[in-house]
Chain A
Amino acid sequence: MRIVIAEDLFLLRDGLIRMLGAHGFEVAAAVDTGAGLLEAVDEHQPAAAVVDVRLPPTFTDEGLRAALEARRRVPGLPVLVLSQYVEPIYARELLADGTGGVGYLLKDRVFDSAQFAEALRRVADGGTAMDPEVISRLLARNAGDNDLRGLSPREREVLGLMAEGRSNAAIAQRMVITERAVAKHTSSIFSKFGLQPSDDDNRRVLAVLAYLGR
């Protein structure tokens, strides 16, 4: 799978190239600016882009804006945005077009390379990968809502994992329960939230995120 990386810190860029290479990704280009990312996307037509939020020259949210611009130019281009901190407002911007294929993770998540590679693969397949911290903040914000209080602890756990972007199979594996049990929990959550149930993992995740971020 061909990807491009935009990261200005040499050590991290190098580490990412090595790690993703080890997990079977082919790094077509590694750049260090937002403008460079746009060029690399044009040139290499990658399956996904891994982008740091803070890039030169402004060292603000240059990377995020470049990622959004890249998705405007190549609709549906999967991007995984990395950051030293996560902000729900940025997650909302990434999710705004409602097509999925976005990830937003803390840089710490690269510590667990297998999980990170799995998240990138999920994003490249059109899924989502939201950092657990984004999700816990979204859940904390909605904690007072009656809908959320109506969930059982088990359902809440499923909701959290689903919002991170995981498939039913992955949730089942993670919680050590059967996939059927997960499906039961998700349909219960959807009916409590008054959402349209869907068999498509990806659409389900987006619906839940939209619900929590409303």
Chain B
Amino acid sequence: MTGTARDSANLVAPREPRSWIGVRLVGSVRGLALIGVALAEAGLILALVSEVSLSVFVYPVLLIPPTLLAVRRLANVTRRLAGQWCGVRIPQPYRQYREPDPEAGAWCRFRQACGQLITEPATWRDLLWMTADPLLIWVLALLPFAVIGWGLEGVLMPAIWSPIVHAGGTYWYAFIPVNNEGTALLCLPLGLVFIALGVWITPLCLRWYGQAAYSMLSPSKEAALEQKVAQLSESRAEVVDTGAAEIRRIERDLHDGAQARLVAMGMTLSAAEQLLDQNPAAARALLLEARDASAKALTELRDLVRGIHPPVLADRGIGEAVRALAIDSPLRIRVTNELTGRPPAPVESATYFAVCELLANVSKHADARQVWIDLRYERGLLRVDVGDDGQGGADPSGGSGLRGIERRLSAFDGILAISSPPGGPTVATLELPCELSSPKTSSF
């Protein structure tokens, strides 16, 4: 998996409940749901310990790599949940994992898998986290839920006190001895206070949990650098390849197009020159032909230039260039441009061609009636959303076009994320880190 694809998983903001109280109630239920993660973690650790301790029987050892991979998957679930529920984005720390050769024997595959997994520092950090995490979940995630539950008990106390007191005598609710209707009623406000407290600490606990997860599950500095280097050399190689291919294409287009036409034009003109005295009518026909050839050469040059660097992009920048695309497109496109300055030219160009490709995809596959493009700049990122109300179901991993966009963007550390549930709507989001330059001041 490449860095580009990996980061994109967390890019699109999760669907959040809107209301204040909704956020908190859902938060406390999420805490409860994390117990599932805790149980799975405990199970995996247990499995691993048994596999190692049963290694005298040799064969259980073969189960270690799949278990470690399951650990990795579970850690990724935790990373994703931390992003969606706790608002802490945790990138994956792993080096690229190559599947062992399926042709090889079991032991050979075991060696290949173990070699990668055991030398990976992130594996050990995952394991360390997983031994501590269940405890953390019980404390941090369940605490708000327990406090709210306790509060609910207090609120209900006026209704349920009598069977409790009759069965077991005085019942202590926090510091209130409940033994008659009056004291039971006192529990109601206290219960409300507990509920408020639980509701208040819910997001705090989730955030603490997210931060704790971040400290263990995010890449160490060294791993982050290693990843960066791998990513840079990959994207550099791709940029060099793309650049070379592009230059070859331009050379070929010029050679077969404008250049050939100019040669033909020169020949036509010299033929016209020879005919000028004897047959002026034929010479005139040739001159007209030469004129047409020059017009065709111009058209081809124009198309070539448009493919290299579209004129509106050069003139006005990405916002207007996207607007020009919208005006030129058979799709009905609404463009919202909130950019206040211009990104650097290479970023603009990469963004422009990415948007072109996405629009081509929309018109090819989506069957959309309405398309919208939003351009924004937030916290050092140029962000472009291309959405449509088509049938959805676009596969972000498939399609050479999307791969091409990712490649183009990765040269700028940019990423592409696609959300396309079946039935739509599809939203493709580009993010590119860059600086905006202040808008060009008009001389008029």
A76 sits at the interface (CB 8 A): no
The B161-188 residues at the A interface (CB cut-off 8 A) are none
Question: Is A89's CB under 8 angstroms from B314's CB?
Answer: no
Query: Smallest CB-CB separation from A144: which chain B residue?
Result: B330
Q: How far is the CB of A28 from chain B (nearest CB, A)?
A: 21
Is B263's CB within 8 Å of the partner chain A? no
Expressed in whole angstroms, the Cα–Cα distance for A52 and B83 within the complex equals 53
B327 & A85 in contact (Cβ 8 Å cutoff): no
Closest partner residue, chain A, to B311 (CB atom): A85
Q: Are B324 and A65 in contact (CB under 8 A)?
A: no
Cβ–Cβ contact A65 & B327, under 8 A? no
Kindly state the separation between the CA atoms of A144 and B367 in the bound complex, as whole angstroms.
13
- Write out, one digit per residue, whether chain B residues 306-348 have a CB within 8 A of any chain A CB (1) or not (0): 1000011011100010011001111000000000000000000
Give complex CA distance A107, B301 in Å. Answer: 13
Residues in B whose Cβ lies below 8 Å from that of A85: 302, 305-306, 311
Q: Give which listed residue, A35, A69, A108, A141, contacts B328 with CB less than 8 A.
A: A141
- Dominant SS among interface residues on chain A: helix
On chain B, the number of residues with a Cβ less than 8 Å from chain A's Cβ atoms is 24
A-B contact count (CB 8 A): 57
Structural contact, B444 and A66, CB atoms closer than 8 A: yes
Nearest A residue to B363 via CB reads A144
Instruction: Closest B residue to A111 by CB, please name it.
Output: B291
Give every chain B residue within 8 A of A89 (Cβ-Cβ). 312, 320, 323-324, 327-328
By CB atoms of chain B within 10 A, which of A87, A137, A144 has the most?
A87
Contact A38 B444, CB 8 Å, known A85-B311, A141-B328: yes
B interface, by DSSP: helix, strand, loop or mixed? helix
Residue on A nearest B312 in the bound complex, by CB: A87
Question: Which chain B positions have C-beta within 8 A of A90?
Answer: 312
Give A102 to B324 CA distance when docked, in angstroms. Answer: 20
Shortest A78–chain B CB gap in Å is 19
- How far apart are the CA atoms of A141 and B316 in the complex, in Å? 22
Chain B residues, Cβ within 8 Å of A188: none
Q: Does A143 contact B (CB under 8 A)?
A: yes
- Known contacts A89-B320, A108-B298; A65 and B328 CB within 8 A of each other: no
> Among the listed B316, B323, B327, which residue makes an inter-chain contact with A61, where contact means beta carbons less than 8 Å apart?
B316
Q: Mark B272-313, 1 if CB is under 8 A from A, else 0.
A: 000000000000000000010011001100100110000110
B contacts, CB < 8 Å to A: 291, 294-295, 298-299, 302, 305-306, 311-312, 314-316, 320, 323-324, 327-330, 440, 442-444
Chain A residues with CB under 8 Å of chain B are: 34-35, 38, 57-58, 60-62, 65-66, 69, 84-85, 87-90, 92, 106-108, 111, 137, 140-144, 213
Closest CB pairs A-B (n = 3): A60-B315, A89-B324, A61-B315
